[in-house]
Amino acid sequence: MDGKLYDNHGRVINYVRLAITDRCNLRCFYCMPEEGITYMPRKELLTYEEMERMLTILAAMGIRKVRLTGGEPFLRKNVMEFITRLVAIDGIETVNITTNGTLTMQHLPDLKKLGIKTINLSLDTIDKERFYHITRRDELEKVMDTFHSLLDHGFNTKINAVVMEGKNTEDIIPMALLTKDHPVGVRFIEEMPFNGAGSNYPVLNWNHHRILEELKAHFPDIQKIPDPPNSTSFNYQVPGHQGTIGIIAAYSRTFCGTCNRLRITPQGVLKTCLYDDGVFNVRDILRSGATDEQLRTTFLEAIGNRAANGFEAEQKRRFNAPVSESMSTIGG
Ligand code: SAM
Ligand code: SF4
């Protein structure tokens, strides 16, 4: 054994995406209905202590990287204290964060001190009206301030933009142009059906092929660059530009063969694939007085029974078919 954790398809599992809250201060239409979703009662959310214990067990099993997401992670009270404890867990080498950037800026100096290196900023448009239309909130200025502050602080900064027909395809080129003068990774993501609005599958008019065609039409000399291991994005660069451009085929699911990740929802549901509807509830096991060894065994069993890909996982959904839950209850 090499000390690594493998699933039943021989894929190394070393990454956990932890959604620390289902609450959010934006209402991105592809993620939540305008009126919001029914939030979990607070007592049903994992406490920070429970998250710390779970991650300590997972780190001992081989998890090396954690991404904090949500809902909006910076809405959860005392999040900085939690991050301080998280970075100290033995075995966790990398902690990244995905945020909408509205409440983030004040924390950047402390995040830097804690050794956080990469922050993903969700930003679908750089046009004020389109931002309002998509997020139903007037917060673009704050998010752009956060973007510039992230770069000023020297964070490895990625922008995640969901590409949507009739909403923001005009932004593809202007956002790709951010890579000209900034060392940022701008990633265009296919829309997925996790919109909290019932079975409302998007018609994928802008899949990864079409996004690439659009980029090639504007940047004929755009070049493919190597993709990092386990990358979910196909990566490109325009010669002379400081940053890079990525395309994430989140709905077409081109990356399942190297998937190294687990997801934990705010109420503690383990998902071994974004498209499954949950394998077991970590919170219930922890609160039943289980030992670390019992939890470890339960994780091992789930990791030993992963679907081969997102299509298989979607087909096997028991409770909630088709996909309709809000991404803010999963974390992206
Ligand atoms: N609130 C934080 C944020 O927006 O960055 C973190 C949570 S959010 C659910 C994580 C990511 O999921 C965001 O980048 C968001 O764009 C993406 N997302 C949400 N709903 C989506 C959907 N239906 N299709 C594709 N991506 C989605
Ligand atoms: Fe909130 Fe992020 Fe969902 Fe937008 S994508 S509503 S910011 S959780």
For the Cβ of 99 lying below 6 angstroms from any atom of ligand 1, the answer is yes
Q: Using CA atoms of 218, 220, 222, 224 in order, give the dihedral in degrees to the nearest 10.
A: 120
Q: What is the pLDDT of residues 127-162, one digit of tens each?
A: 999 999 999 999 999 999 999 999 999 999 999 999
Q: Specify whether domain 15-330 bears CATH 3.20.20.70.
A: yes
**153-173 burial: b if 16+ Cβ within 10 Å, else e:** eebebbbbbbbbeebbbebbe
Give the Å distance between the CA of 57 and the centre of ligand 1: 27
Band the pLDDT of 198: cuts 50, 70, 90.
low
Report the Cα 65 to chain-centroid distance in Å.
13
Query: Which structure tokens are listed for 15?
Result: 């990454």
Pocket of ligand 2 (CB under 6 A): 24, 26-28, 31-32, 70-72, 100, 122, 327-328
**Which ligand minimizes its atom distance to the CA of 69?**
1
- In order, the DSSP letters of 252-286 are TT--GGG--EEEE-TT-EEESSTTS--SEEHHHHH
Percent of the chain surpassing pLDDT 90: 85
Give the Å distance between the CA of 123 and the centre of ligand 2: 10
Ligand 2 atom closest to the CA of 31, numbered from 1: 3
Angle (deg, nearest 10), helices 140-152 and 128-135: 110
Least confident segment among 29-38, 178-187, 282-291: 29-38
What pLDDT is stored for residue 61 in this prediction?
98
Provide the whole-model pTM: 0.96
Residue ranges of domains in the chain:
15-330
Q: What is the pLDDT of residues 219-257, one digit of tens each?
A: 999 999 999 998 999 999 999 999 999 999 998 888 899
On the question of pLDDT at 202 being above 80, the answer is no
**Which ligand minimizes its atom distance to the CA of 17?**
1
Average pLDDT over residues 107-113: 98
Give the Å distance between the CA of 28 and the centre of ligand 2: 5
For 163, residues 6+ apart whose C-beta sits below 8 A from its C-beta are 169, 172, 188, 189, 190, 191, 206, 211
Ligand 2 atom closest to the CA of 328, numbered from 1: 8
What pLDDT is stored for residue 201 in this prediction?
63
On the question of pLDDT at 185 being above 70, the answer is yes
φ/ψ of residue 149, rounded to 5: -70, -35
What pLDDT is stored for residue 77 in this prediction?
97
Give the Å distance between the CA of 326 and the centre of ligand 2: 9
φ/ψ of residue 290, rounded to 5: -65, 155
Nearest Cα residue to 261 out of 83, 90, 96, 40: 96
Q: What is the pLDDT of residues 292-304, one digit of tens each?
A: 999 999 999 999 9
Ligand 2 atom closest to the CA of 327, numbered from 1: 3
Report helix, strand or coil for 153. Answer: coil
Report the Cα 185 to chain-centroid distance in Å.
15
Nearest Cα residue to 16 out of 60, 49, 47: 60
Calpha distance 65→58 (Å, rounded): 10
What pLDDT is stored for residue 196 in this prediction?
82
**Residue owning the nearest CA to atom 4 of ligand 2:** 28
Band the pLDDT of 323: cuts 50, 70, 90.
confident
On the question of pLDDT at 197 being above 80, the answer is no
What pLDDT is stored for residue 58 in this prediction?
98
Least confident segment among 185-189, 217-221, 294-298, 320-324: 320-324
Helix (H) or strand (E) holding 238: none
